[in-house]
Chains A and B, each alone.
Chain A
Amino acid sequence: MIRAGRICKSTIRTFVLLGLTCPFTMAAQTISPAATEHLKAARGAEAQKQFDVAVREYRKVTEIEPAFAGGFVSLGQASMEQHDFAGAVAPLKHALELDSNLVPAHQLLGYALLAQGYAAEAIPHLEQAHEQNALGIAQVETGQFAEAITNLQAALRKRPNDPDLLYYLGRASGLLSKQSIDTLQALYPDSARASQSMAENYFVLRQMDQAQKQYEQALKARPDTPNLHLELGQVFAMTSRWPQAEEQFRAEVKLQPGNAEAAYRLGDALLHQGKAREARTELERSDKLQPQMPETLYSLGKAALLDGDAATAGKAWRNLLSVEKEGELAAQTHFALAGLYRKQGKMPEADLEMKEFQKLQNATSQSPASPPQ
């Protein structure tokens, strides 16, 4: 069983506070003049962000009017506004005892419980309030990853590119993936898919010997499984065993002649061995299957140049730059074009490409995402 216990509590709290951006507004209800005075004082204090004063005044309202559910909701909200989530729970629960259909009370109670790590308890309240964002987060916490993904995706449709929601959606997806793989390995430890998933883990950890063994085991169990040869080929490529990589990519291409990545990988393996003509054929095929893939176009240019066809190389690289204007691959392509033009004696063009190359290189090196040298 996967637990999401490592999800950052401070992130949840931040999210909870964001959830308070639509403060609860009490429905009009007749209350005594004394309670009304305290209510006004409480609202005034809230407006000035004097939440401790607001809490004190709302508490007096609930003492004078113990059957006034709205007073308890406001008290809970004010407590939450001063980050006292534990203190908010009792008045919110009391509000729901007075009126179990009070949606704002469910919403706030759900948030207050979630902020304190009581995700399972928070879920029914968040469901009542239709709070899909917080509900998704709570479901990540309780291991309901599939449900969490559904709710977080719905929330993201309402708040596109929200960083917290994106984070939790990614987290939930990763955990669901791991949960599925764990189940697979527990139920079918000797299956081809179990070996494949193990191999993928080893690959990520760069433990290539173990990855190779697991892929080979998977292939022995089910030789026609799509992508197994492709992935094993990448193990060989990563360790510079290009003939073996070629063999695996060829097997994948045979299984999946319509798979553009398999054709690209085969072309790249051939290119690394200096087999220009064959590489070019596969890369052109990949380009037809999935046009305008920058990696394919870059390698196609290299293969064409190696094959002595500078015109095709230039065309592929210029084509690449029409779809990919920035980033490392674009920089590499400008560099390649500079070399090509230099050999053709087109020095102004070569200089221009070098300038573009250097510009992009500088941009990449200044990017905070790039690791220190």
Chain B
Amino acid sequence: MLGRLLQLGYVFALVAATTPGSAPVLELKPPRGIDFTLQNSPTPQKYLIETMPGGVALLDYNNDGLLDVFLVNGGHVSSPMPVPDNFDRHDPRYWNRLYRQNKDGSFTDVTEQAGLANAGDGNYGIGVAVGDYDNDGYPDLYVTSYGKNILYHNNGDGTFTDVTAKAGVAAGGWSVSAGFFDYDNDGKLDLFVTRYMEWDTQHSKDCGGNFHTYCPPGEFPRTTNILYHNRGDGTFEDVSERSGIAAKKGHGLGVAFADYDGDGFTDIYVANDGMQQYLFHNNGNGTFKEVGMEAGAALNVDGGPLSGMGVVFQDYDNDGRPDVIVTTLPRQTYAVFHNDGQGSFSDRGLQTGITMLSGVTSGWGVGLEDFDNDGQKDLFVAQGHVLDNVEKIDPSLHYLEPTLLAFNHGGRFEPADPGTDALVAARGTAFGDINNDGSIDVVTTVLGGHPQVFMNRGGSAHWLTISLRGTRSNRDGLGARVLVNGQSRFATTAGSYASANDKRVHFGLGSAKSAKVEVFWPSGTHQTINDVTADQFLEVREPEHP
């Protein structure tokens, strides 16, 4: 490894050496049975979609207690593309894939039997969201695309049904990330979809001179994000206009949810590419107001725009308020918007050390998870430049990049060994406890390659993983704020880039063998459970009466 480090120079200078004798917390471990290849199909035409997939979801689709993996595929891109678009998604090489986890930790491809084969020839797959929109106890899938998005209803018998038409959530255009959340606290999960730009294969551009290269987003018109309200009868209503969401056009990529001002309503943060970021404040009456600029969460510390790609909206410093981290392109550094309270954020890139960790890298999927269970959320970023020939433009940058893992030491992030020195063009990332050992594992997607599965070796520190069971709130309690021993976490499957995380809420407890658990449910109910024993999977059921 040392020779490789020297050979690759500064890129690896960001990856701290592991203390001699100690194994890295994460270990890159290809699990048996996952043979997926993300077919992004790069062409000389440099269609921008080629560099943007794909999402990954960690969900327990069959409720057997084991996380399964859903991977979004791109599609076949012809050079040039025919009219109408045809991405050959009927070809099994371009299918999205669902892998069911077996009891021995291996996986079985159940795509076909689950009814998830062939995502439509006109769709180029990008991302995925997970949520139980009908509160039947089984997680449903929403797949975003360039083309039409697809809502797969989980039938509860190991199969899914495409209910897009009935539900009315096809969207159209170019969708990237999506997330289920309950914006009006009516107990039914609504759906937010980011859209990147007004673009199609017949109006693509090549921004190269002597060579072909992908164009920056500013070359194409901005577009609107979409908010779907769940009517509760299996259908959704597009309330983008009425809610105020459509009033702000952008270049939306990532999306994350949290109630940043503690008013009991879930707010939305959208990572926009090459412009200001959007923070949609939930007014609590079905409408939103974009307040990114006035809240200090729209631009970087120098007032510059950000190439926002992935985003996480969680509390990194355990002050009880959710903060925002946005991954970006090199020379911008990832933005850290610390929630100062009273609806105001401040850039903490320098204080947290994240500025130093992200000067020459491009971040996509991102998570704040407590990998070492010490009670502080650590940072994981999947990296890789957007341009597959960036070296021709700037030899000091690289298309293939290392993975970033940084441990949180009292609000300061220090680089750590991510368990691999592989250089990849990583994109989507999902977090969850795959082997139910109380430690958070990670799955990332890689353009043109196999997904990376980072298994957590675990340790001696204690932990607590909570499954929320909403009764008056939505069934999975998405949108709840959970406090454990002074830490806070917002229950969500959204965040990262184009991906969906394990819905369970995980806390590292350090040396504490018990915990006080408080849940602030979306319904308004505040529930406290004292003396919870550590190192267990705890289901917390929302009281049916306040």
Interface residues of A (CB under 8 A from B): 205-209, 212, 236, 238-242, 244, 271-274, 276, 302, 306, 331-332, 334-336, 339, 342-343, 354, 357, 361, 372-373
Our pick among B9, B346, B352 for the contact of A339 (Cβ within 8 Å) is B346
Q: Is the CB of B10 within 8 A of A239?
A: yes
B394 touches A206 (CB 8 A): yes
Give every chain B residue within 8 A of A276 (Cβ-Cβ).
350
Distance, CA A336 to CA B351, complexed state (A): 16
A339 nearest CB neighbor, chain B only: B296
**Chain B contacts for A205, CB-based, 8 A:** 395
- Which one of B10, B304, B355 contacts A208 once the chains associate, using CB atoms below 8 Å? B10
Selected from A239, A241, A271, the residue in CB contact (under 8 A) with B350 is A271
Tell whether B31 is near chain A: CB-to-CB under 8 Å: no
B344 within 8 A of A: yes
> With A240-B14, A336-B303 in contact, is A273–B340 under 8 Å at CB?
no
A372: contacting residue among B218, B301, B356, B396, CB under 8 A: B218
Query: What 1/0 mask marks residues of chain B from 332 to 374 whose CB sits below 8 Å from any chain A CB?
Result: 0000000010001011001111011011100000000000000
State whether the Cβ of B457 lies closer than 8 Å to any Cβ in chain A: no
How far is B478's CA from A342's CA once the two chains are assembled, in angstroms?
A: 32
Whether A274 contacts B350 in the complex (CB less than 8 A), given A242-B356, A361-B303, comes out as yes
The yes or no answer to B219 lying at the interface (CB within 8 A) is yes
Q: Are B359 and A240 in contact (CB under 8 A)?
A: yes
Contact with A along B1-43 (1 / 0, CB 8 A): 0000000011001100000000000000000000000000000
23 contacts between A and B (CB under 8 A): A206-B395, A206-B396, A212-B9, A236-B10, A239-B10, A239-B13, A239-B396, A240-B14, A240-B356, A241-B13, A272-B356, A272-B359, A274-B351, A274-B352, A274-B355, A302-B301, A302-B350, A332-B302, A332-B303, A339-B296, A342-B296, A343-B344, A373-B218
Residues on A with C-beta less than 8 A from B218 are: 372-373
Tell whether, in the assembled complex, residue A335 and residue B303 are in contact, meaning their CB atoms are under 8 Å apart: yes
List residues of chain A with CB within 8 A of the CB of B296.
339, 342
Find out whether the CB atom of A274 lies under 8 angstroms from the CB atom of B396.
no
| B538 close to A (CB within 8 Å) | no
Question: How many B residues are at the interface, by size bracket?
Answer: 20 to 34
Interface centre among B13, B14, B358, B396, by most chain A C-beta atoms within 10 angstroms, is B396
CB of A272 within 8 A of CB of B10, answer no
Question: Is there an interface contact between B360 and A274, defined as CB atoms closer than 8 Å?
Answer: no
B302 touches A273 (CB 8 A): no
Taken together as a complex, chains A and B put the C-alpha atoms of A273 and B274 apart, in Å, by 25
Distance A341 CA – B425 CA, assembled complex (angstroms): 41
Q: Which residue of B lies closest to A351 (CB)?
A: B294
Instruction: Decide: A357 near B303, CB < 8 A? Known: A306-B350, A373-B274.
Output: yes
Complex alpha-carbon distance, A54 and B303, angstroms = 64
Output the least CB separation between B324 and chain A (Å): 15
Query: Nearest Cβ distance between residue B84 and chain A, in whole angstroms?
Result: 30
- Out of B302, B340, B412, name the residue touching A274 (CB < 8 Å): B412
Residues on A with C-beta less than 8 A from B396 are 206-208, 238-239
Chain A's closest residue to B354 (CB) is: A274
Closest to B299 in A: A335
User: How far, in Å, is B480 (CB) from chain A's closest CB?
Assistant: 30
Alpha-carbon distance between A331 and B360 when the two chains are bound, in angstroms: 24
- Residues from chain A with a CB closer than 8 A to the CB of B340 are 343
Taking the complex as formed, is B216 at the interface, i.e. its CB lies under 8 A from any CB of chain A? yes
* Minimum-distance CB pairs A-B, first 7: A240-B359, A373-B218, A335-B303, A239-B10, A208-B396, A332-B302, A206-B396
The distance in angstroms between the C-alpha atoms of A373 and B351, with both chains bound, is: 30
Cβ A208 vs Cβ B350 within 8 A: no
Taking each of B216, B303, B353, B359, which has the highest tally of chain A beta carbons within 10 Å of its own beta carbon?
B303
Interface residues of B (CB under 8 A from A): 9-10, 13-14, 216, 218-219, 274, 293, 296, 299, 301-304, 340, 344, 346-347, 350-353, 355-356, 358-360, 394-396, 412
User: A241 with B10: in contact, given A274-B412, A339-B346 (CB under 8 Å)?
Assistant: yes
A274 touches B356 (CB 8 A): yes
Question: Whole-angstrom distance from the CB of A119 to the nearest CB of chain B?
Answer: 32
Across the interface, do A306 and B351 meet the contact criterion of CB distance under 8 Å?
Answer: yes
Cα–Cα, bound, A276→B216 (Å): 35
Q: How far is the CB of B449 from chain A (nearest CB, A)?
A: 25
With both chains docked as a complex, state the minimum distance between the C-beta of B237 and any C-beta of chain A, in angstroms: 35
B394 surroundings in chain A (CB, below 8 A): 206
Query: Which residue of chain B has the shortest Cβ distance to A207 in the bound complex?
Result: B395
Q: Bound complex: CA of A152 vs CA of B351, how far in Å?
A: 51
Contact A373 B219 (CB under 8 A): yes
Contact between A239 and B303, CB atoms less than 8 A apart: no
List the B side residues contacting A336 at CB < 8 Å: 301-303
Q: Smallest Cβ distance from A120 to chain B, in angstroms? A: 36
Complex CA gap A241/B301 in Å reads 20
Most buried by B among A206, A236, A240, A335: A240
A209 CB contacts on chain B under 8 angstroms: 9-10
| Alpha-carbon distance between A271 and B296 when the two chains are bound, in angstroms | 21
How near does chain A come to B253, taking the closest CB pair, in angstroms?
A: 16
Closest to A236 in B: B10
- A343 vs B218: C-alpha distance when bound (angstroms): 32
Q: Cα distance A212–B296 when bound, in Å?
A: 38
Closest Cβ of chain B to A206, distance in Å, is 5
B347 neighbours in A (Cβ, 8 Å): 339
Q: Are A274 and B353 in contact (CB under 8 A)?
A: yes
CA of A242 to CA of B350 in the docked complex: distance in angstroms?
Answer: 12
Q: Could you tell me if A272 and B302 are in contact, using CB atoms closer than 8 angstroms?
A: no
CB of A273 within 8 A of CB of B353, answer yes
Q: Which residues of B contact A271 (CB under 8 A)?
A: 350
With A239-B360, A239-B396, A306-B350 given, can you name 20 additional A-B contacts, CB distance below 8 Å?
A: A206-B394, A207-B396, A236-B10, A240-B14, A240-B359, A242-B359, A244-B13, A274-B355, A274-B412, A276-B350, A302-B350, A306-B351, A331-B303, A334-B303, A339-B347, A343-B340, A343-B344, A372-B218, A373-B219, A373-B274
Residues of B within 8 A of A342 (CB): 296, 344
Shortest B419–chain A CB gap in Å is 22
Distance between Cα atoms of A316 and B347 in the complex (Å): 19
In the bound assembly, the distance between CA atoms of A69 and B293 in angstroms comes to: 77
- The residue that B346 contacts in the complex, of A206, A236, A343, A361, with Cβ under 8 A, is A343
Q: Is the CB of A273 within 8 A of B303?
A: no
Shortest CB–CB separation between residue A353 and chain B, in angstroms? 10
The reply to whether A239 and B359 contact each other, CB–CB distance below 8 Å, is: yes
A51 to chain B, nearest CB (A): 42
A171: min CB distance to chain B, Å: 24
Query: In whole angstroms, how far apart are the Cα atoms of A209 and B395 in the complex?
Result: 9
Nearest chain B residue, comparing its CB with the CB of A205: B395
Question: Please, how many angstroms separate the alpha-carbon atoms of A334 and B304 in the complex?
Answer: 12
User: Measured between alpha carbons, how far is A238 from B9 in the docked complex, in Å?
Assistant: 13
The interface centre, meaning the residue of A244, A272, A276 with most chain B CB atoms within 10 A of its CB, is A272
**Residue of A whose beta carbon sits closest to that of B361:** A240
B10: chain A residues within 8 A (beta carbon): 208-209, 236, 239-241
C-alpha gap A272/B302 in the complex (Å): 13
**List of B residues within 8 angstroms of A238 by Cβ:** 396
Taking a contact as CB atoms under 8 Å apart, the answer to whether B216 and A373 are in contact is: yes
Please indicate the chain A residues that have their CB under 8 angstroms from the CB of B356 in the complex.
Answer: 240, 242, 272-274
B10, B274, B359, B360: most-surrounded residue (chain A CB, <10 A):
B10
Q: Which residues on A sit within 8 Å (CB–CB) of B303?
A: 331-332, 334-336, 357, 361
Give the Cβ gap from B261 to chain A, nearest Cβ, in Å: 15
Q: State A209–B10 Cα separation when bound (angstroms).
A: 8
Task: Check A335/B346 contact, CB under 8 A, given A242-B356, A306-B351, A373-B219.
Answer: no
- Give the distance in Å from the alpha carbon of A357 to the alpha carbon of B293 in the complex: 12
The docked-state distance in angstroms from the alpha carbon of A241 to that of B9 is 11
Bound state CA distance, A331 and B302, in angstroms? 9
Bound state CA distance, A120 and B355, in angstroms?
A: 56
Contacts of A273 in B (CB 8 A): 353, 356
Compute how far the CA of A334 lies from the CA of B303 in the bound complex, rounded to whole angstroms: 9
Set of chain B residues within 8 Å of A212, measured between Cβ atoms? 9
Closest to B353 in A: A274
In the bound complex, residues from chain A placing their C-beta under 8 Å from that of B274 are 373
Residues of B within 8 A of A272 (CB): 350, 355-356, 359
- Chain A residue at minimal CB-CB distance from B347: A339
